[in-house]
Amino acid sequence: MKNKPISETSEWTFDLIEQYDKEISRIAQNFRLDTYPNQIEVITAEQMMDAYSSVGMPVGYNHWSFGKQFMETEKKYRRGEMGLAYEIVINSNPCISYLMEENSMMMQALVIAHAAYGHNSFFKNNYLFKQWTSADAIIDYLVFAKDFVADCEKRYGEVAVEEILDSCHALMNYGVDRYKRPHPVSMKEEHARLKDREAYMQSQVNELWSTLPTLETEKEEKIVERFPLEPQENILYFIEKNAPLLESWQREIVRIVRKISQYFYPQKQTKVMNEGWATFWHYTILNQLYDEGLVTDGFMIEFLKSHSNVTYQPPFDAPHYNGINPYSLGFSMMSDIRRICENPTAEDTEWFPDLVNTDWIDSLDFAMKNFKDESFISQYLSPKVMRDLKLFSVLDNDKNRNIEISAIHNNEGYQQIRTLLADQYNLGSQEPNIQVYNVDIRGDRALTLRHEQYNRKPLASTVDEVMKHLTRLWGFTVRLETVTEDNKAEFTLEQKNNNEVSS
């Protein structure tokens, strides 16, 4: 062995963490990982549970649902039903990662490699994160949001604020811009703009709902124009700008929730890639440490044990099977790209002519930067990975009595499995497509939403409750129509505004 191991026991100290970080950082640089500066924070298990229950936001406004989450986590942890995730990392600049006090030295090194270099470089370079999130501004914005909500609680009462938040949370998935790019704003600007926005928004709304008769009324009635002209996919944005009865502070809260939703949107779309990337790098980096003789055999055995726990994919018939494990799929795919670059087979040459015999670091880097789960899978899922994971597809059509195996991991099936698996990560087809379709401006002000059905999939019954929440925000009747695949719109449900939202 060339080097002396950095440490021999499983105890960690701040000194050791810094030494490991130095080595890991050096190796990461050799592999050309481009990261935000790292801020590594050592916390206790309790603090980890706190971080957990605020969905990983380092600063969060107060809401009962976070309390519920906390109590659940605490209970499970105390009973030993679940270990705490070994890492939480925040997409911010500097990139904050948490190390738990209870972890062994090996675990701390693993988390540093995984989060502080793996996830960190992903946050900094993936196109979705670059487009949709601003790592420099997020902490400022969260602080602003927390203060604003706390201030509203003082002025308008906890209950009033909680009602708005409940309703916004119900629609959080529909608070996302899929095409427009928000630009970053610092806390100072945010404060300065808040006042302007309040006044401006209120005036806009007043204009829309102005009841003064206009001269061209008759002319207008002939051309039946819808409002909005185009269907709107960002329901919370539409509410924020157009709901007639909301007060300006309520609009600001709607905005806060939708902004946070937007911030997490890229994470939802890159679960497999992000975890796969981070797992690939912790594996590669720690192996490099071992090759250089910087860690002991014991360290490596402990590492491999937890690594294989994380990347284990239970088969579909295992009792604790819960869908495809993103760590496992992502890690397999990332490792496979490297393999294709370095040791291609005839099959790979046929499937990935562009990858074979290229520099693996460049090729992986390109994949990480320019894809999201859906496109990543449809581009890179190789026959070998499908065989290794023994993927097969099941067709479940409620018109048939039985479900049917439609493809398996063989020559005839590869293409179909790849397409279907990619679609499984397409939020557009996984989340029901519901958009704001029309507002009856001259009539009862009813808001009509349209659900474009996909593969005849119905909405779960919770939609009733969500519509009640939407009615609370909108203030008037809300209707939901379903557009079936043969393009017929049918009325689905109506929620009158009677201020009844069950809690």
Residue 375 contacts another protein per CB under 8 A: no
State which of residues 147, 166, 198, 233 lies at the interface with another protein (CB under 8 A): 166
* Residue 409 near residue 390 (C-beta atoms within 8 A): yes
CB closer to another protein out of 63 and 197: 63
Residue 67 contacts another protein per CB under 8 A: yes
CB closer to another protein out of 78 and 193: 78
State which of residues 31, 42, 379, 440 lies at the interface with another protein (CB under 8 A): 42
- Calculated CA dihedral for residues 274, 275, 278, 282, nearest 10 degrees: -170
Minimal distance, residue 29 CB to another protein, in Å = 12
CB closer to another protein out of 402 and 498: 402
Count of residues near another protein by CB under 8 A? 99
Q: At what angle do helices 463-474 and 235-242 cross, to 10 degrees?
A: 20
Q: Copy the structure tokens of residue 406.
A: 């439609």
Residue 361 contacts another protein per CB under 8 A: no
Minimal distance, residue 125 CB to another protein, in Å = 18
Q: In this chain, which stretch among 17-25, 236-244, 248-256, 362-370 interacts with another protein, using CB under 8 A?
A: 17-25
CA distance 245 to 205: 9
Q: In this chain, which stretch among 208-216, 253-261, 292-300, 456-464 interacts with another protein, using CB under 8 A?
A: 456-464
CA distance 51 to 58: 7
* Segment 310 to 339, residues that bind another protein, using CB under 8 A: 313-318, 321-324
CA distance 308 to 325: 12
Q: At what angle do helices 373-380 and 326-342 cross, to 10 degrees?
A: 40
CA distance 306 to 328: 13
CB closer to another protein out of 65 and 204: 65
Give the 3-state secondary structure of residue 367: helix
State which of residues 130, 169, 271, 369 lies at the interface with another protein (CB under 8 A): 169
State which of residues 47, 125, 232, 438 lies at the interface with another protein (CB under 8 A): 47
Residue 462 contacts another protein per CB under 8 A: yes
Query: Side chain identity at 52, as an amino acid letter?
Result: Y
- How far from 175 is each of 64, 167, 211, 239, 427, CA to CA, in Å? 20, 12, 29, 10, 14
* Segment 390 to 449, residues that bind another protein, using CB under 8 A: 390-399, 401-409, 412-413, 417, 420-421, 423-424, 430-432, 434
Per DSSP, helices labelled H in 54-186 are: 64-79, 105-111, 120-125, 127-132, 138-156, 158-170
Q: In this chain, which stretch among 36-44, 182-190, 289-297, 358-366 interacts with another protein, using CB under 8 A?
A: 36-44
State which of residues 6, 12, 23, 53 lies at the interface with another protein (CB under 8 A): 53
What's the number of CA atoms in the CB half-sphere (13 Å) around residue 197?
16
- Calculated CA dihedral for residues 116, 119, 125, 127, nearest 10 degrees: -160
* Segment 104 to 143, residues that bind another protein, using CB under 8 A: 116
State which of residues 31, 63, 182, 244 lies at the interface with another protein (CB under 8 A): 63
Minimal distance, residue 390 CB to another protein, in Å = 4
Return all residues near 247 (Cβ < 8 A) that are at least 6 apart: none
Residue 457 contacts another protein per CB under 8 A: yes
Query: Side chain identity at 455, as an amino acid letter?
Result: N
* Segment 140 to 159, residues that bind another protein, using CB under 8 A: 158
* Segment 256 to 275, residues that bind another protein, using CB under 8 A: none
